[in-house]
Structure 1
Amino acid sequence: MNRAGCTLLMGCLLSIAPLLGHAESNSLLIPATSRCVLDTRPEDLEQALAQCRSLAETGDSQAQYELGEYFYAASRHPQDLPQALHWYEQASLQGHAEAQLRLGTLFWRGEGVPANKVQAYVVLKMAAVNGAEEAMDSADLVAEEMSREQLEQANRVLGEIFRNYLQELQASDMRSPFAPLP
Structure 2
Amino acid sequence: MEINFEALTEKTIPTYSSLGKQSYVEHYLHLWQNSNPKPYIESSFTVDVVTTEFKDSNCQNFLVKYNGSNAGVLKVSINKSCNGFTAEEALYLHRIYLLKEFSGKGIGKATLKFVVKLAKEFQKKVIWLEAMKKGKAHQFYQSNGFKTIGETTVNLPNVLPWESAMWILAKTI
TM-score (norm 1): 0.26
Higher normalized strand content (fraction of residues): 2
Larger Rg: 1
